[in-house]
């Protein structure tokens, strides 16, 4: 409240929170970018193996650092984003240089996602939540995630080409519809986070009678299978991540350049 010279008063409105509005647009931009990246992963993940590894390393380290900064510091959003982006660049470069670790990480992410979805959307959720203490259920859930993640990660290192096609198709499909789910505020996949706290499905919008559930889960299934087929038949056909294998001449082909037609 302020006084004018003639004694009348006027109300001043509080300035709008422009920072939160901008961050909201940033979140929307991230979700849209995630949909685009997920689509690329889904249909051409193996063909673009190095860019895929870079993005995976960037995203993983970015979100870890960002969440730690938000939870444990009082830094502004923009400073947190800048520091996290720098950490993400370092993570992406590291996975490019450490190829096998990057391949393991892609397999691990897929295994972790599968374990999370299975526990959240099957009777295992009720079994874990209802039969053991909530603190124990967290450790059981984490054990499922880590165990299957390590298994698929090792398989990806041993069988890089087929496993990488498989995991990029399904990871990409999950990224697409997790982002759609968040943009639409359906919160179907929010049920996954509830397992950590021993909560029930009623605290999310998840329901087998809601069409949103079938859009999200059905979309993941359709895009996952379609991505595998497209990569195997088209984008990854005749391609190998190892240049020595990719450039190898078929058996019996003349190795003398001057005699080649």
Of 59-63, 176-180, 189-193, give the lowest mean pLDDT range.
Answer: 189-193
- Residues 18-41: pLDDT tens digits? 667 877 888 899 899 999 999 999
Token pair of 191 as six digits: 């049920």
pTM of the model: 0.79
Is there a contact between 207 and 213 (Cβ–Cβ < 8 Å)? yes
- Residues 149-172: pLDDT tens digits? 999 999 999 999 999 999 999 999
pLDDT at 32: 94
Backbone angles phi, psi at 213, to 5 degrees: -60, -45
Of 26 and 9, the one with more pLDDT: 26
pLDDT at 114: 87
Report domain extents, the chain: 26-237
Q: For tokens 């859009």, name the residue.
A: 215
Work out the average pLDDT over 74-91.
91
Work out the average pLDDT over 226-252.
84
pLDDT at 254: 45
Of 84 and 67, the one with more pLDDT: 84
Backbone angles phi, psi at 4, to 5 degrees: -80, 160
pLDDT at 134: 55
High-pLDDT (> 90) share of the chain, % = 47
pLDDT at 123: 63
pLDDT at 228: 97
Backbone angles phi, psi at 10, to 5 degrees: -135, 150
The 3-state secondary structure of the chain reads CEECCCCCEECCCCCCCHHHHHHHHHHHHHHHHHHHHHHHHHHHCCCCHHHHHHHHHHHHHHHHHHHHHHHHCCCCHHHHHHHHHHHHHHHHHHHHHCHHHHHHHHHHHHHHHHHHHHHHHCCHHHHHHHHCCHHHHHHHHHHHHHHHHHHHHHHHHHCHHHHHHHHHHHHHHHHHHHHHHHHCCCCCCCHHHHHHHCCCHHHCCCCCCCHHHHHHHHHHHHHHHHHHHHHHHHHCCCCCCCHHHHCCCCCCCCCCHHHCC
pLDDT at 76: 85
- Residues 115-145: pLDDT tens digits? 877 776 766 655 555 555 455 566 777 888 8
Backbone angles phi, psi at 74, to 5 degrees: -110, 25
Evaluate if residue 247 carries a pLDDT over 60.
Answer: yes
Contacts 24+ apart (CB under 8 A), 74-83: 76/19, 77/19, 77/23, 81/26
Backbone angles phi, psi at 2, to 5 degrees: -130, 150
Distance, in Å, from the CA atom of 169 to the CA atom of 98, rounded to the nearest integer, reads 22
Token pair of 29 as six digits: 């931009």
Distance, in Å, from the CA atom of 29 to the CA atom of 21, rounded to the nearest integer, reads 12
Backbone angles phi, psi at 249, to 5 degrees: -75, 145
Evaluate if residue 199 carries a pLDDT over 70.
Answer: no
Of 76 and 155, the one with more pLDDT: 155
């Amino acid at each position: 409240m302020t006084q004018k010279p003639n004694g009348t008063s006027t109300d001043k409105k509080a300035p709008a929170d422009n920072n939160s509005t901008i961050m909201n647009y940033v979140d929307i931009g991230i979700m849209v970018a995630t949909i685009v990246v997920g689509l690329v992963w889904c249909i051409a993940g193996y063909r673009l193996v190095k860019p895929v590894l870079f993005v995976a390393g960037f995203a993983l380290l970015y979100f870890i650092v960002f969440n730690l900064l938000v939870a444990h510091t009082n830094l502004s959003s923009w400073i947190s984003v800048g520091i996290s982006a720098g950490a993400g660049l370092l993570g992406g470069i590291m996975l490019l240089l450490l190829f096998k670790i990057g391949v393991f990480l892609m397999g691990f992410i897929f295994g972790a996602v599968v374990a999370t979805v299975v526990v959240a959307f099957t009777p295992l959720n009720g079994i874990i939540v209802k039969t053991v203490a909530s603190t124990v259920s967290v450790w059981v859930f984490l054990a499922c995630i880590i165990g299957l993640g390590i298994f698929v990660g090792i398989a990806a290192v041993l069988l890089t080409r087929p496993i990488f096609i498989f995991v990029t198709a399904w990871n990409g499909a999950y990224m697409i519809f997790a982002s759609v789910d968040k943009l639409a505020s359906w919160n179907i996949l929010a049920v996954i986070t509830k397992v950590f706290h021993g909560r029930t499905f009623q605290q999310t919008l998840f329901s087998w009678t809601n069409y949103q559930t079938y859009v999200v889960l059905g979309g993941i299934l359709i895009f996952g299978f379609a991505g595998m087929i497209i990569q195997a038949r088209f984008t990854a056909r005749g391609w190998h991540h190892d240049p020595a294998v990719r450039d190898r001449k078929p058996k019996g082909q003349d190795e003398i350049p001057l005699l080649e037609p």
